[in-house]
Amino acid sequence: EIVLTQSPATLSLSPGEGVTLSCRASQSVSSYLAWYQQKPGQAPRLLIYDASNRATGIPARFSGSGSGTDFTLTISSLEPEDFAVYYCQQRSNWPPYTFGQGTKLEIK
């Protein structure tokens, strides 16, 4: 089973700041990695797929990069609605599909 480790667990930032979230895989997943955003009380939403492609309707301030075992999600300038939990997920080697444990972005 591929384990995805996200860091940090929590980030406290202010609107307007930029941020980079990390996801590391226990073995190579090539570019088969996605990022999801989950706001309180809501279902997750696909943000980035295949490591670097924005999903439909996702603003350009969100970008993803990486391949192999190291991936990042960057938000160039935080908007108030971006404070949420972010999960990475791999589909390179399944079953099982696996998710990271999440990074919570909170307002400072």
Partner 1 sequence: EVQLVESGGGLVQPGGSLRLSCAVSGLTFSNYAMSWVRQAPGKGLEWVSHITSSGGSTYYADSVKGRFTISRDNSENTLYLQMNSLRADDTAIYYCVPKKGGWFDPWGQGSLVTVSS
Q: Could you give the CA distance from residue 64 to residue 67 in angstroms, rounded to a whole number?
A: 10
**Does 89 contact partner 1 by CB under 8 A?**
yes
Nearest to 87 by CA among 77, 98, 102, 76: 102
**Does 67 contact partner 1 by CB under 8 A?**
no
5 CB-near residues (< 8 Å, 6+ apart): 23, 24, 25, 26, 100, 101
Over the window 12 to 41, marking each residue x when it contacts partner 1 by CB under 8 A and - when it does not, the resulting string is --------------------x-x-x-----
Chosen residue from 46, 54, 65, 72 binding partner 1 by CB under 8 A: 46
**Does 100 contact partner 1 by CB under 8 A?**
yes
Binding site for partner 1 (CB under 8 A): 32, 34, 36, 42-46, 49-50, 55, 87, 89, 91, 94-102
